[in-house]
Amino acid sequence: MNDIVDAKSLTLTKKDFESDQMVKWCPGCGDHAILRSLENVFPELGIPKEDFVVVSGIGCSSRFPYYMNTYGIHGIHGRAAALATGIKLTNPRLSVWMISGDGDSMAIGGNHFIHIARRNPDINYLMFNNKIYGLTKGQYSPTTPFGAKTKTSPQGTFEQPFNPGELVIGSQGKFFARVTDTNLKLMSKIFKEAAEFRGASIVEILANCIIFQNKIHSLITSKETKEQNQLILEHGKPMLFGKDNEKGIVLEGTRLKVVELGKDGVTVDDILVHDKTTVDPGIHMMLASMAPPEFPAAIGVIRAVKTETLEESVWNSVEHEKKTSPIKTVDDLLNSGNTWDID
């Protein structure tokens, strides 16, 4: 519920959002790209700079608020979603951006993650997924691939990982997008779309931890393999990928399948067309689940279903009660019901 203000009249630039604090992430960390991208996006949203609030939990990514010149609050581990919800409910006019990581969101904050998705406050939730605990120096996280060797899994992990998109959609989430830290242009586009979407816009950013989990996303992000392993989704367009868009996704029975155009008579008309707005979560869930080597990873906005936001429901109820309740003041309340006078 941001006031719509003419962007030009604000004439904000990247500079308006750069903080004077030293950015202390490791050189080469994917987080730098995300910060740059957000600093570029904020001036373009048409929102006054004092209306931005950046909220975070704990972890490398969560130092983010200190690096942006906005209102900011750096919370405790896993609980940023609750902080953000409290802020948004209190002042729905604010543009609330929440920064979190895979440890913060999927482990200690797992409970808050599913509930923010379900409640749908208008919060932009950026989850940096580097599939490792960075700030505590290299323990496995709930998104670390099964069997991966880390400091706390020297024999390989024994646990199946979460796929954040599946959790979002399974938790009644209305917006889910995925992007890589290597594609700044797409990142900015998706951040804008997340900002414009009224509801909990959860964006998974495949981020690289250069120190403890280097190249964890390289199948998806490296120059050599990305064309085969990324399906860049566009609403209303067929799901094509590959060097020359020679491959596509079809629905066969109840499953998705990769096909090649021209092979076995497959034409572009057979290819699934992406509809991010469909309420039914079936295809969205399958898209979120796709992963190399069998499938390309779905990149872009997978799901964006409009519905009333939490704060809209709550404040509409406040307005309704103000109109209809016989109680107008606290004095009215104190004097309501059974009272008696002593003379």
Partner 1 sequence: MISKKNKVVELEHAVIRFAGDSGDGMQLTGSLFSDSTAFAGNDFATFPDFPAEIRAPQGTIAGVSGFQIHFGRTDIHTSGDLADVLIAMNPASLKANMRWITKEAIIIVDTDSFVEKNFVKAGYAADPLSDESLVGHLVIKAPITTLTREAIRDLNLDNKTSQKSKNMFALGLVFYMFNRDYKKTYTFFESKFRSNPLIVEANKKVLEAGYNFGDTIEAFANTYKVDPAPLEKGKYRNVTGNLATAWGFLAASDRSGRDLFLGSYPITPASEILQELSKHKELNSISFQAEDEIAGIVSTIGASFAGALAVTTTSGPGLSLKSEAIGLAVITELPIVIVDVQRGGPSTGLPTKSEQSDLMQALFGRNGEAPVIIIAASSAADCFYSAYEASKLALEHMTPVILLTDGSLANGSEVFKIPKVKDLPEITPPLVEANDDTFKPYARDEKKLSRRWALPGTEGLRHRIGGLEKEDISGNVSMDPLNHQLMTELREEKVRRVVDYIPDQEVIGAEDSDVLVVSWGGTYGVLLTAIEKLIEEGKSVSLAHFKHIMPLPRNTREILSRYKKIVVCEINMGQFVNYLRMQFPEYKYEQYNKIQGLPFMVTEIIDKVNELLND
Q: Which is nearer to partner 1, 280 or 331 (CB)?
A: 331
Is residue 19 close enough to count as binding partner 1 by CB under 8 A?
yes
Count of positions (residues) in the chain: 343
Write down the least CB distance from residue 77 to partner 1, Å: 8
Is residue 224 close enough to count as binding partner 1 by CB under 8 A?
no
Amino acid at 74: H
Considering only 44-52, 147-155, 225-233, 283-291, which stretch makes contact with partner 1 by CB under 8 A?
A: 44-52
Amino acid at 240: L
Is residue 142 close enough to count as binding partner 1 by CB under 8 A?
no
Among 86, 156, 262, 282, binds partner 1 (CB under 8 A): 86
Is residue 126 close enough to count as binding partner 1 by CB under 8 A?
no
On the 0-12 / 13-18 / 19+ scale of CB atoms within 10 A, 123 is buried
Write down the least CB distance from residue 17 to partner 1, Å: 9
Write down the least CB distance from residue 177 to partner 1, Å: 24
On the 0-12 / 13-18 / 19+ scale of CB atoms within 10 A, 313 is middle
Following DSSP, what letter does each residue of 3-42 receive, concatenated? PP--HHHH---GGGGB-SSPP-SPTT-THHHHHHHHHHHG
Among 244, 264, 280, 343, binds partner 1 (CB under 8 A): 343
- The answer for residues whose C-beta is within 8 angstroms of residue 69's C-beta and 6 or more apart is 16, 17, 18, 19, 20, 49
Is residue 232 close enough to count as binding partner 1 by CB under 8 A?
no
Phi, psi torsion values for 338, nearest 5 degrees: -75, 115
Kindly state the helix (H) or strand (E) to which residue 167 belongs, with its residue range.
helix 164-170
Q: Which is nearer to partner 1, 90 or 267 (CB)?
A: 90
Instruction: Report the interface residues with partner 1, using CB under 8 A.
Output: 19, 21, 48-51, 53, 55-56, 58, 65-66, 69-76, 79, 81-91, 93-94, 111-112, 115, 314, 317-318, 320-322, 324-325, 327-331, 333-335, 337-343
